[in-house]
């Protein structure tokens, strides 16, 4: 049980580090000193990605497995 909790914490930490790294990379790519602007660009990108994934999942059946009777 403790191992599962440790793995979950490590995974959450890695995801947070990736998000922070993405914001810093966008800030550098935009040649801008505004971290808020870079975070806004990332949030808009994540929202667009989520919408596209929802459309794809809906079009392809939502990831449900059909029973093989």
Is residue 15 a part of any domain in this protein? yes
Q: How crowded is the C-beta side of 63, counted as CA atoms within 13 Å?
A: 5
Is the pLDDT score of 57 beyond 90?
Answer: no
Is residue 65 a part of any domain in this protein? no
What average pLDDT does the segment 16-41 reach?
A: 87
Structure tokens, 4: 């599962």
* pLDDT of amino acid 18: 84
- DSSP character string of the chain: -HHHHHHHHHHHHHHHHHHHHHHHHHHHHTT-S-HHHHHHHHHHHHHHHHHHHHHHHHHTTTTPPPP--
* pLDDT of amino acid 35: 87
Is residue 16 a part of any domain in this protein? yes
Is residue 66 a part of any domain in this protein? no
Give the residue, 49 or 58, on which the prediction is more confident. Answer: 49
Is residue 12 a part of any domain in this protein? yes
Domain that holds residue 36: 2-59
Is residue 28 a part of any domain in this protein? yes
What is the C-alpha separation between 69 and 65, in angstroms, rounded? 12
Q: Total structural domains in the chain?
A: 1
């Amino acid at each position: 049980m403790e191992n599962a909790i440790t793995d979950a914490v490590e995974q959450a930490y890695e995801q947070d580090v990736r998000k922070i790294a993405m914001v810093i990379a966008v800030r550098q790519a935009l040649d801008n000193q505004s971290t808020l602007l870079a975070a806004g660009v990332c949030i808009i990108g994540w929202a667009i990605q989520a919408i596209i994934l929802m459309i794809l999942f809906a079009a392809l059946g939502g990831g449900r497995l059909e029973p093989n009777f």
